């Protein structure tokens, strides 16, 4: 009799455990967002020029912007490079940067613009 009671309580415990684990899984699945859609949403948001400018404005180092632009020039993404160089020039001028550095930035800007112009033909 004792053995039947322990088997019955063991079955009850097993059933309750499965039900509770199922409910926990269901609530966690419902509470967590779909990460794939979040990634697509972020990617779509960053493809807009206004959002790129806002994001790039957080970078307060014209040299970093110049390096990023050089990478984009190598990857033939001239429109992004031009944007980054223009922001770098603005930062350098705003902070009273070295005139030679600003001239170097302007040369890079002209180079990127000429690449962009020649790639459109």
Q: Is the pLDDT of residue 16 over 70?
A: yes
HSE at residue 100, side-chain half, CA atoms within 13 A, is 0
pLDDT in tens, 38-97: 778 877 777 887 777 787 778 888 989 999 999 999 999 898 899 999 999 999 998 888
Which residues, in sequence order, are CB contacts of 108 under 8 Å at separation 6+? 66, 69, 70, 85
pTM for this model (two decimals): 0.61
């Amino acid at each position: 009799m004792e053995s039947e009671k322990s088997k019955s309580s063991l079955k009850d415990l097993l059933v309750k455990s499965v039900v509770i684990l199922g409910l926990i899984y269901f609530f966690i699945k419902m509470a967590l967002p779909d990460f794939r859609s979040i990634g697509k949403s972020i990617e779509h948001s960053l493809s807009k020029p206004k959002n790129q400018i806002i994001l790039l404005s957080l970078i307060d180092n014209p040299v970093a912007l110049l390096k990023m632009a050089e990478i984009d020039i190598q990857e033939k993404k001239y429109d992004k490079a031009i944007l980054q160089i223009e922001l770098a020039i603005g930062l350098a001028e705003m902070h009273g940067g070295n005139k030679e550095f600003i001239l170097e930035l302007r040369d890079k800007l002209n180079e990127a613009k000429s690449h962009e112009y020649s790639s459109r033909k």
